[in-house]
Structure 1
Amino acid sequence: MYTTIKTLFDKGYNKTQIAKMLEIDRGTVRNILKRIENGEEIKRKSVESILDPYKEIVHIKAKQELSAMRIFQDISEEHGYTGSYDTVKRYVKRYKQSNAKVYMVNSSLPGEEVQVDFGYIGKIPNPMGVLKKAWVFCMILSYSRLMYCEIVFNQEVKTFIKCHENAFKYFGGVPKTVKIDNLKAAILEANFYDPVYQREYEAFSKYYGFLPIPCRVRTPTDKAKIESGVKYVKNNFFKGRSLKSFEEYEKALLGWLENICNSRVHGTTKQIPKEVFQDEEKETLQSIKPIEYDFGIWTTRKVNVNCHISYDSNFYSVPYKHIGENVALKVSDKLIKIYSHYELIATHLKIEGKGQFSTNNAHYPEYKVKTKTQLQYEYRQKMLEIGPNALEFFQKVLEKNQNNWGKPIYGILKLKDKFGSEVIEKACKRALAFGSIKYQTIKNICEKGLYEQPVDTGVSLISNTETDIHRPLSEYESLFKLKEVK
């Protein structure tokens, strides 16, 4: 009615004429024209749909990516919907269109990014001539679209890393980032915001200086270039091709890469990948390491109280602060690297043989690795603090026992904690007067209170070269005030 009145009025009919033609009141025509003049939008009167009570359920199921037929079946059987399938189909189509995701074009600078993935290609002969399940590994430079492909028979970490190295050699350099699918070979936990990288792949990426970036789960647009690349090599090279040996496949694939894949006009860029790579991208790649990555095996060990871990019946030191901790070992042909929470804490040359120790003294606390001279000086100063007789006692012990002086002096210093410096000084003076330089002598003097007894100057002291074992018994009696032996 609104549209008809406006159309007739625009054609020059007056209000009275319009009212007669439409058989309605002139006032109604006047009111509608006034509302149109004021800019009021003409709206269709809403009509209730048979699907209205079920729309919330339809939305949930559509987000689960169920088909319109499946949604129709579910709401009919489970919720009593009595309308037609076409009604559901039209509504689901409109709903998905209105909620479709918008994606930006992911542009890359030259040398900035490659994308990698595997594609299953069925069974082909392996190098031994046995039919085995096979995959094609693909790496594509996101800027030039130059692609490298290689046939593999597993997706293990070592294979994955070796394919990367072969691709880098093919390109003649290393990109800044490698965008990977959430492969078990590279990613242990599919979390885009905090990925737990497979330890070996992480070490490999650091060695070559690129940043690995995992794609988001169920987001094919993150890796659209490699998705298309894998599909292309499977359909254009492998599909319908049956060769007799692995060597024939390998040679044919390399020729296909050179003469077809990288020499064609690319469907998206409308340029030839090989030419774009040579002209714009090759020089932007990082240089390749002259020595290939040293692949190793990983294992864990617990750090013992002696600051060592055991591997293959040999022992390797670890900083003492990691005692009791489980650390990770990367074992290669020549080296053993030890990590704590992804941080390298020790490196050792791998020991040949059994029962051997590789020890870095810096892994011990400072007091455990002092030189003999440092220890002698430290203990001498402590005995000097007690007094001159204690210092003389220390020097005589050192002269007599060059290799076993530490324990008696340490014992005397422990006695000082109990009896005090003054008592130890007097005890050393008495022991020296009787020619004894034994810890047990000092201990007996202190415990029996003999340090207060006067020294009998009439007693003949033995020479410094004599040992206590040759001293007359009478001297011991005077030393310890023993009762007369009967």
Structure 2
Amino acid sequence: MEKWLLYSEIHRLKRKGFSINKISKKVGISRNTVYKYLEMDPMEVAEWMAATKVRSKKLDPYRDKILNWLKENPDMSSAQVEDWLKEHYGKGMQIVGEATVRRFVKELREQYHIPKVTIPRSYEAIPDPPMGKQIQVDFGEIKVKDMNNQERHLRFISFVLSNSRYKYVEWLDRPFTTRDVLRCHENAFQMFGGMPEEIVYDQDCLISRDENAGDLILTVEFQGYVKERGFRIHLCRKSDPESKGRIENVVGYVKKNFAKHRVFTNLEKWNEQCLRWLERTGNNNVHNTTKKRPVEVFALEKPHLRPISSTINFSSVDTASITRSVRKDNTVRFLSNRYSVPLGTYKHRRDNTVYLEIKNDQLRIRQSPDGQVLASHKIDNHKGQLIQDRQHTRDRAKGISTYMETISKRFNNAEIALEYLEKVRSNYPRYIRDQLQVISKAINKNDQIANQALEYCLSQKLYSANDFFDIVDYLIREGGIMHESSESQDQIKPANPIDEAVLRAKPEVRKMDVYMNVLKGGAVG
């Protein structure tokens, strides 16, 4: 809201008896700002507005440069302007926020009439494929409220016959697996009463692993299904939703017309409601493009579909769960999160493929489709998270204990040695591994002398690896003998020669009576 209008509105509400708090909420500003406007008179507001128009801005020193960029590149975004400023000026540029750059660029565009140019994509109307030739498939997701007003994350797969626009939708309250996708295909074919020659997909990880210059690399599970059913597949380019317009429209239609504002009770009822919605609305309403009801055109298209055999037994198709590769850090990526597997699962230059299985809200990671479960985690609905089982992390405490036992066994009396090492650990808990390495290095010098050093350290209570190392060094130099200090060794030799008579001289010692006499005021005798 423009400042003058804001000033007028605040004073109008105040005259009507609104409290400061009510005014603040109504106009969308803080209470302190409301107080500031109420304290100003119209002249002060006018002067204030004039001052704000001419005040300097942080990006004024770069105005000409930014203006040239915008003139040369009218489609340049404010985010790119910010990046170029950092690139060209680096630390010399004043610290500014994204919003500051965005406002500054907007003002320059308005002031110099530089509209942001967008390069429109050229579209071409494509005739509908012949009846029975093509189905388009895509996935969608939405968050809805349940009966307890809790948010639920639901996902769905949608199918649409490209000619008649007849639709089928199926929902899950968890992520889809490849097995789920294949089961939904079978359900859709049963619903349509046949299958097409070709199916168009997005490049979803459940269906394709990669695209090599146009050559599709399908997942093993989906490849087996395609081979058994015998339809052709066409994958749209990544990040190109406009190339599959029919199904994109269906996904948006399902979200907005069926799911939005609907209360979730349970998955079975939700799917039943969706089927009734398809019958009532999704397939019954006149289509905006064809101007026909999908259900009526479908009656003509159905005979053109290829007949299907009985429902496939998925055990005859390689329909193991989603495949993933174990990363170097012994984690597996799933839905933008990382899930841990036991240490050592990753093998350098070997096949690190694992199989993911979804059961309710649990993610199971298997070594083979029906093999041992390596890890089981609760699925996290957030993104960018590391979900880690403590059993999969390195037990550092256990590693230290094993290390201590290994070192203690290198002494003649392993039990006493272990007691000594525990004392060292107590003194240096944070550096115990370093302490053990120093002790191990000392033992390597001479294991027999190390036993003598251990006895001496225990007797003198020297619970330090450095002390132990020094004792070993000393014993090696002295031939394995720890010398006791003697009176002769304790004598200090004078730096300069002194008469031995002087050294042997003893000072006179007065009797106690002399000092008592002095204290009483007498003279020294």
Q: TM-score range by the shorter chain?
A: 0.3 to 0.5
TM-score, normalising length: structure 1: 0.44
- Structure whose alpha-carbon radius of gyration is higher: 1
TM-score, normalising length: structure 2: 0.41
